[in-house]
Structure 1
Amino acid sequence: MGASIIPFIVFTVLWGGIGGVLPIIVPKGPNRGIIQVILMLTGACCWLFWLCCYIAQMNPLIGPKIERDAILIMARQWGNPIQ
């Protein structure tokens, strides 16, 4: 499995919009600065979390553990009996 550019672009635009565009349109008020920082940190942290999860799926460290009997049954059913 390799990386695809489409999910990377879609999620970068999504979280970039939350962290880059939404802080600009926050209405004026006493907590405007705090809300802007919250939106920027949310966009950055969520994008980074998504990126780490996406990259981790490209080369999984753990594979399925199948018992010997199950492997023999599957091989027989699929027409490749193990000797």
Structure 2
Amino acid sequence: MSKVAALGWGTLVYLGVGLLLAIYPPIVSDKPLGRVCFITASVCLWLLWITCYMSQMNPMAYPDPQLPAEVIVPKE
């Protein structure tokens, strides 16, 4: 699966779950408030997911392990 396809599928999953909860909210006393909360939560979770996923696609900082020489070859 390519990276772009994974982004599309992940976005569709979040969109589907968000719409499902917005159309059929669980038992809440105030349905409009529940819909707004579910939509807001879906958008925020999607933003968190896509930010983390895309930051791992093309990392800007690479690990550069540099150990001191005395750690590699201990002095006797």
| Percent identity of paired positions between Structure 1 and Structure 2 | 29
Q: Which runs of 5+ in 1 are unaligned?
A: 74-83
Question: Judging changes above 3 Å, is the alpha-carbon distance between structure 1 residues 36 and 67 closer, same or farther for their aligned structure 2 residues?
Answer: same
1:34 matched residue in structure 2:
33
Deviation above 3 Å: which 4+ runs of structure 1?
Answer: 27-30
Question: Judging changes above 3 Å, is the alpha-carbon distance between structure 1 residues 30 and 67 closer, same or farther for their aligned structure 2 residues?
Answer: closer
Count the aligned residue pairs: 69
Contact 1:18-1:39 within 8 A present in 2 as well: no
- Deviations along 1:24-59, one digit per CA (max 9) or x if unpaired, are 112676411111111101111111111111111122
TM-score by length of structure 2 reads 0.68
Q: Which runs of 5+ in 2 are unaligned?
A: none
* Cα RMSD after superposing both structures: 2.6
Structure number with bigger Rg: 1
TM-score by length of structure 1 reads 0.64
